[in-house]
Structure 1
Amino acid sequence: MSYEKRHSLLVILDMAIVWFSILTAYVLRFDGSIPSSFTVQALIYGTVSCVICFLTMRYFKLYNRVWQYASIGEIVAIFKSVTIGVILSYLVTYLITMERVPLSILLRHYETLLLCVGGSRFLWRVLRDRYLVKKKPVHKNALIFGAGDCGALIAKEMLSQLDATIYPVAFIDDDPMKHRQHIHNLPVVGSREHIVAAATSLEIKEIIIAMPSVSRKATAEIIEVCKGTKAKLRIIPNLTDLIHGKVTVKQIRDVEVEDLLGRDPVNVDLEGIANYVENKTVLVTGAGGSIGSELCRQIAPFQPKCLVLLGHGENSIYNIEMEMRTKFPEIPIETVIADIQDRERIDEVFQMYRPEVVFHAAAHKHVPLMERNPAEAIKNNVFGTKNVAEAADRYGSERFVMISTDKAVNPTSIMGTTKRIAEMIVQSLGKTSKTKFVAVRFGNVLGSRGSVIPHFKRQIALGGPVTVTHPEMIRYFMTIPEAVQLVIQAGAFAKGGEIFILDMGEPVRIVKLAEDLIRLSGFEPYEEMEIEFSGIRPGEKLYEELLTDEEGIGSTVHDRIFIGKPTLVNQAQFELELKMLEKSLSGDRAEIRESLKSMVPTFLNVS
């Protein structure tokens, strides 16, 4: 129905209600027969009431409201418009006729008008909820976890949508005071211990977690319980949407693996970070990569004087440049296509831009690939790092923060060994340079290029099987934003030569991660989708470590960042070994491995 037709019908209905309320008031007052002396008054009172009540109802926008969502605000609007309309009608009628309308008629008119106008509006909502929005065969039963404001809003919207495919049938809430209560005519059937039973008895196909204000740890615990059902899990993303009234069915998203980690957001020292980034020229190498691009996003809000994006791949640098120019138009952005292995080009970049802060994220990181291409791993991760670090020293950069990995600890891979040598380069320069050189070591990041999560998702999308290397393999995981926030924070603690280790939380079994991803995709592992074990690949180990034996650990003022004690490096010996390593690049893989072993004795030389 068009707006004009709807508006006209409501006006006609309201005017009919005004006349009905006045005539019934007079009839009841005079026991069924209105005296002729009051007939003129009744007609004048009715006419005046029609005009004035129409104006007050229009003023309070009773004709511009969607009554299927009527609530307290609409009740208040009806009360105000009817009350003011009746009072004004009474006064105007008195001024016209110079006779007072009997008080009993006034009161009956008021109560009938209020009841009928309000009733006509809410009758549509009642009829719609009860008879029009019925559970259809195509509806999927949904269970809402959280019987608070957010859960009630979501249930209300889902119930009001005629074309909805999900139909809420019950709530779950840990508050015992809400148990056996009803919200929008839906029962609160118990707490989290009752989820599995409720999902079975009510044939639940989807569970919606509507508790955006709880911590991530609490959310992860709820998800863990919900995994005992075969229902698909969905979640309301954050409290901000609720505060700003943006919570709708469209805001519900699927539960992701990140939600399973259960770690609360990183607390950062904004002032400390701003002190070393604000109004400084900042260079990010590997700026087009997963970590490098996120570094750019998180550095920009601290108002650097200039942000220099350096990378080898033109497409990835172009993409992050376009994103940064759109999101942060006020920040001067410079893009540089360069290979960190090209010493002269890197020197040219530092001479041109004189970066005061350097974040070195450029690296080859794929373990099996680097096992097959050890010379390229060394050229990039070792000598590429050496080129950038020495340029930072030569041109007086204030800080140099290198992104490292837990695979550098007691490495079993070429990649891990090259990153350990890169750490040693940074530590060696940190002893003599005015530049504060530090490395930040952490484990796997969820969703980064080449990481296991996108690989699993692709396999699930193809119908399986999902391949895991070994049933006992475990890894530490962080989200990309979480890791980068801690990297930037660690840079504020730099004094020179440290290796900062990020708290990665509890390690995760890769097979459990695969099982969770399969369940979150709506399948049952081993029944509806197989998991196959392919065997450990060259260079991999069952578990990763974050510290070497000699490093020990120290604390910082941040509860998620720790310091590995600097290892002693004989400068002359180290320089000689670097030359021998460079010379070995022209030899075969065995010679390269022996050179790496001589530099990193903890390298388990396996192939």
Structure 2
Amino acid sequence: MSQVSQGKAAASEEWGLGRLVALPSWVKTALLVAGDALFLPLCMFTSVVLRLGTLDEAVQTALPAQIVFAWLAIPVLAAAGLYRSVVRYLDLRVIARCSAALAVEVLLVYSLAQLTDLRMLPRSSMLIFWFITFAYVLISRFLARALLWGALQRHGRPLVRTLIYGAGAAGAQLAQSMQFSPEYRAVGFVDDAPALHGKKVAGLDVLPAARLKSVADKLAVDLIVVAVPSAGPVVRRRIMELAEGTGRPVKTLPGLVDLVQGDVRVSDIREVALPDLLGRDVVPPDASLFSRNIRGKAVLVTGAGGSIGSELCRQIISQRPAVLILLDHSEFALYSIEQELRPQAQDLTLETVLGSVLDEDLLMQLMRGHQVDTVYHAAAYKHVPLVEANVLRGISNNVFGSQAVARCAAAAGVSTCVLVSTDKAVRPTNIMGSTKRAAELIFQAAAREAGHRTTFAMVRFGNVLGSSGSVVPLFKRQIQDGGPITITHPDIIRYFMLIPEAAQLVIQAGAMAEGGEVFVLDMGEPVRIVDLARTLIRLSGLTERTERQPDGDIAIEFVGLRPGEKLYEELLIGDGVTPSAHPRILCAHERLLEPAVLEPLLAALREACRTGDAGGAVAQLRRLVPEYQPAAQ
């Protein structure tokens, strides 16, 4: 046959298999039943031939009974679930059930023959029938599965040659799952354990992880998947750094907690997230601190639809308060967090309130009406350039909103009121940071006032991953668009923390408060933003485009510091810091203003805002926060 004829024949075969795959499920089930109706009598006839020893005797031995007994296997196999199973995903558990069901059928027929003294068929042929039928079911289904997967893979994209880092249980399950994937093809393992080197797992060789780059080159790998869900953050970061050096895209499986509910599947593969790169061990929350101000109490969260506020709500509802009040001025943000939390609020009162923290009447109504015990004040404008461009709105919301919350909390007899602050409040170079420092001064002064029972505290921390305005989603989007990645300055650094960890620490810090403390969260080591961008480029399997490497994939452009932005952030104004009962929470001792000194300064600032005098408002803000030094532009 010519090459052209062979090509046409192959194309015709693939086209036919492709049409078979596309058939409705009931049609494919009918075809399977029809095939079994044809081949099961042949299995029975073969068993009789083997028992009697000659073809002629088998033909003369109750052919109608042979067909009827063979067809009885069809409802038995149906009851075992064979026809309900999708052939492409057929596993040994279904086959085992079918084997047991066939054994039951053979026993029933044999028992019936004994009871009725039926001698149409040799009774021992039924045992042979069981072996032959089981072999037929096993071979036919797995052959069909192989053909169908082959058709899907030939009609789909080229398979991604995948190297799996980690030859443990998760990696083995992932490799087995890839056998039936139309997208991935596992080509090998690497692992740190010397005992596994040179062995085979799921039919694939296990090679040393130290040789990751050479292994990836030798096997022509397109993708590396890290399948070590039990690894801690430090180990995961080391693995990511090793994988990054191969120049291949890197993906990962979720953590062990996420996988505990079921088997590992190809669909579990996800993009590498920044937490995988930070190498930061999360300290589990102290149960007594975590629930102290929440369980069985009425809790109010301002800014409940924001990045921090919404995570606070998630953590709070897990501790089963009696009442949880969500306050936010964004309709969509409030709707989103309510829809997420509502299914978990079966045994508590969940109230969503659309409003502003500047509305003191609303705040007082909520706090007194629900007899609020704990307030977490997370409402603030936080985007530095936007606040810089909207000075009066930023000051009003961040400063006077905080004043309103503190005033109402004291008047309503709230037990604990916690301000969520930011590292930008330390020696601020922008309006946003100075307004947050002013909010801290308001809460510090409120803690020193007599005549109320409210414990006021502040919690200060740096950037949180995944918050609105975070650089990570921006960088990933820019990489997907082909670049460039835009960074303000090559030397800019930031502290990073995961949102859930930040929210947990805020709650625990508030529980430790005795009045007026500025708690500072341990943010770990700062990260250079340009290093973060380069890591994301490499983990995407791409290269940076530079003057030395003009053929690279993604360029990095430095666009200059934005208004009010500084190169690095600090968490402490002075050196006065003491440890707390929690290893990740410190207590800072910083300058404060007595209420009698603070009130006139706030009154002058409020008047400048009321008259729309932006310049006068900034001047008054600098009197209130003298360490505020606008960044040189």
TM-score normalised to the size of structure 1? 0.86
1:552 aligns with 2:571: no
Q: Which residue in 2 is equivalent to 1:144?
A: 164
Preserved contact between residue 329 and residue 356 of structure 2 (Cα < 8 Å): yes
Preserved contact between residue 48 and residue 92 of structure 1 (Cα < 8 Å): no
2:567 aligned residue (514, 532, 542): 542
1:370 aligns with 2:384: no
Q: Which residue in 2 is equivalent to 1:26?
A: 52
Q: Which residue in 2 is equivalent to 1:563?
A: 587
1:198 aligns with 2:211: no
Alignment deviations for residues 416-440 of structure 1 (CA, whole Å, 9 cap, x no partner): 2222222122122223442111111
Q: How does 1:224-243 map to 2 (within 5 A)?
A: 224-239=241-256, 242-243=259-260
Distance (Å, rounded) in 1 between the aligned partners of 2:298 and 2:375: 9
Q: Which residue in 1 is equivalent to 2:236?
A: 219
Alpha carbons of structure 1 residues 39 and 542: separation in structure 2 relative to 1, 3 Å: closer
Alignment deviations for residues 129-154 of structure 1 (CA, whole Å, 9 cap, x no partner): 78985698733322222333333333
Distance apart, 1:284 and its partner CA? 1.6
Distance apart, 1:386 and its partner CA? 1.5
Q: Which residue in 2 is equivalent to 1:168?
A: 186
Q: Which residue in 2 is equivalent to 1:518?
A: 537
Alpha carbons of structure 1 residues 326 and 55: separation in structure 2 relative to 1, 3 Å: closer
Q: How does 1:31-46 map to 2 (within 5 A)?
A: 32=54, 46=66
Preserved contact between residue 266 and residue 486 of structure 1 (Cα < 8 Å): no
Preserved contact between residue 45 and residue 89 of structure 1 (Cα < 8 Å): no
Alpha carbons of structure 1 residues 339 and 13: separation in structure 2 relative to 1, 3 Å: same
Distance (Å, rounded) in 2 between the aligned partners of 1:336 and 1:348: 11
Preserved contact between residue 428 and residue 434 of structure 2 (Cα < 8 Å): yes
1:311 aligns with 2:328: yes
Alpha carbons of structure 1 residues 73 and 360: separation in structure 2 relative to 1, 3 Å: same
TM-score normalised to the size of structure 2? 0.82
Q: Which residue in 2 is equivalent to 1:14?
A: 40
Q: Which residue in 1 is equivalent to 2:5?
A: none
Preserved contact between residue 444 and residue 476 of structure 1 (Cα < 8 Å): yes
Alpha carbons of structure 1 residues 550 and 22: separation in structure 2 relative to 1, 3 Å: same
Alignment deviations for residues 381-439 of structure 1 (CA, whole Å, 9 cap, x no partner): 22321121011011100110110011222333332222222212212222344211111
Distance apart, 1:17 and its partner CA? 1.0
Distance apart, 1:206 and its partner CA? 2.0
Preserved contact between residue 215 and residue 264 of structure 1 (Cα < 8 Å): yes
Alpha carbons of structure 1 residues 374 and 107: separation in structure 2 relative to 1, 3 Å: closer
Distance apart, 1:352 and its partner CA? 4.3
Distance apart, 1:346 and its partner CA? 4.0
Q: Report the RMSD for the aligned CA atoms in angstroms.
A: 3.6
Distance (Å, rounded) in 1 between the aligned partners of 2:507 and 2:31: 60
Alpha carbons of structure 1 residues 555 and 25: separation in structure 2 relative to 1, 3 Å: same
Distance apart, 1:542 and its partner CA? 2.2
Stretch of structure 1 that moved more, 497-506 or 451-460: 451-460
2:462 aligned residue (443, 447, 453): 443
Number of matched pairs: 597
Preserved contact between residue 172 and residue 192 of structure 1 (Cα < 8 Å): yes
Distance (Å, rounded) in 1 between the aligned partners of 2:254 and 2:430: 38
Supply the AA of the counterpart residue of 2:194: P
Q: Which residue in 1 is equivalent to 2:20?
A: none
1:267 aligns with 2:292: no
1:456 aligns with 2:475: yes
1:532 aligns with 2:557: yes
Q: Which residue in 1 is equivalent to 2:29?
A: 3
Distance apart, 1:323 and its partner CA? 4.1
Stretch of structure 1 that moved more, 449-458 or 93-102: 93-102
Secondary structure (helix, strand or coil) at the match of 2:421 reads strand
Alignment deviations for residues 342-381 of structure 1 (CA, whole Å, 9 cap, x no partner): 5455445545444221111112222234344444433332
Secondary structure (helix, strand or coil) at the match of 1:203 reads coil
Distance (Å, rounded) in 2 between the aligned partners of 1:169 and 1:594: 66
1:572 aligns with 2:592: no
1:411 aligns with 2:428: yes
Q: Which residue in 1 is equivalent to 2:12?
A: none
Distance apart, 1:231 and its partner CA? 2.3
Preserved contact between residue 153 and residue 159 of structure 2 (Cα < 8 Å): no
Unaligned runs of 5+ in 2: 1-26, 546-551
Alpha carbons of structure 1 residues 539 and 185: separation in structure 2 relative to 1, 3 Å: same
Alpha carbons of structure 1 residues 136 and 204: separation in structure 2 relative to 1, 3 Å: farther
Supply the AA of the counterpart residue of 1:532: E
Alpha carbons of structure 1 residues 454 and 113: separation in structure 2 relative to 1, 3 Å: closer
Distance (Å, rounded) in 2 between the aligned partners of 1:84 and 1:341: 76
Q: Which residue in 1 is equivalent to 2:523?
A: 504
Unaligned runs of 5+ in 1: none
Distance apart, 1:495 and its partner CA? 2.0
Preserved contact between residue 94 and residue 101 of structure 1 (Cα < 8 Å): no
Supply the AA of the counterpart residue of 2:230: S
Secondary structure (helix, strand or coil) at the match of 1:212 reads coil
Supply the AA of the counterpart residue of 2:183: T
Q: How does 1:89-100 map to 2 (within 5 A)?
A: 89-97=109-117
Distance (Å, rounded) in 1 between the aligned partners of 2:411 and 2:153: 72
Distance apart, 1:508 and its partner CA? 0.9
Q: How does 1:27-66 map to 2 (within 5 A)?
A: 27=53, 32=54, 46=66, 50=70, 53-54=73-74, 56-66=76-86
